[in-house]
Amino acid sequence: MYPIGLWEAGALAAFVPACPGPVNVLRIPPAPSMAQLAGLGVARVSYASLLHRGVMEQFSHVLSSLAAEQGEHPHAG
């Protein structure tokens, strides 16, 4: 079962034991920790596009930093 949008610990504590099969949770920033989710009986955690977005944001920051360095030192590289 993949109850999209269900991430609060109290709601999961009630839902997981009542569900007839394994429960998958979307790991959004306000969700409980991985250890807490495991303790609640969550069987699988999904990140959807959150990991990709995070990596792309970091990549953008690195590229901006490199571009700024290149601007500061035009003869470098």
> How many domains does the chain contain in total?
2
Instruction: Indicate the pLDDT class of residue 74, thresholds 50, 70 and 90.
Output: low
Residues 24-50: pLDDT tens digits? 998 888 889 999 999 999 999 988 777
43 by Cβ neighbours in 10 Å (0-12 / 13-18 / 19+) ranks as middle
Q: What is the mean pLDDT of residues 43-61?
A: 86
The 8-class DSSP code of residue 73 comes to -
Q: List b or e across 8-42, with b for residues whose CB sees 16 or more CB atoms inside 10 angstroms.
A: eeeebeebbeeeeeebebbbeeebbeeeebeebeb
Structure-block tokens of residue 55:
């990596």
Residue numbers of the domain that contains 3? 1-46
Residues 41 and 13 in one domain: yes
Residues 68 and 40 in one domain: no
